[in-house]
Structure 1
Amino acid sequence: MKKEHSNPVPPEVQAEIDALAAADRPIRTDLIPEATGDWSAARRGLFYRPIKQQITLRLDADLIDWFKRNHLQGEGYQTSINRALREYIAQHQL
């Protein structure tokens, strides 16, 4: 097994990394601009996907048929069922 990197960091880059790591100053978050703007085109779950578990679930045929006919464009009917269950849970939190 190789212990060395196949693409070693160049010495000048490593020196910069070491200098940044040695700097003992806090990060100035007040200099970061606040994220404002139009978020209507934002997509949920683009970078994070929850772990899914495959199961066998018996549902009434008319339910499955409805979801197959009425799922959102770009998503499958199973995703629509998953979303509907999540909405149900959100509305019934105790």
Structure 2
Amino acid sequence: MSTAMNFGSKSFRPRAPDKGSFPLDHFGECKAFKDKFMRCLKDNSFDNSKCRLQSKDYLGCRMDNQLMAREPMERLGFKDLMDPPIQDKEAKP
């Protein structure tokens, strides 16, 4: 019976993280946004529905600093918090 280990038999293939997994903010680029969001949660008994604006701002910071893949805010559940598009007054009939 051979118990020799052969480390070369398996090859590691890295893959992109699953959606919802993102790099740590090592340089604290979004710390102020995170702190504001966490403070909101604490002040509202961790009812995240009352902190959606802070959550949106935090995710925006993460996308701006390449700490997560850029996604439209509408796809992240913030459609109701988006500014309506500015329409040209001349284009109205």
- Per the TM superposition, whether the score is higher than 0.5 is no
Q: Which has the larger radius of gyration?
A: 1
Q: TM-score, normalised by structure 1?
A: 0.23
**Higher RCO (CA-CA < 8 Å; seq separation 6+):** 2
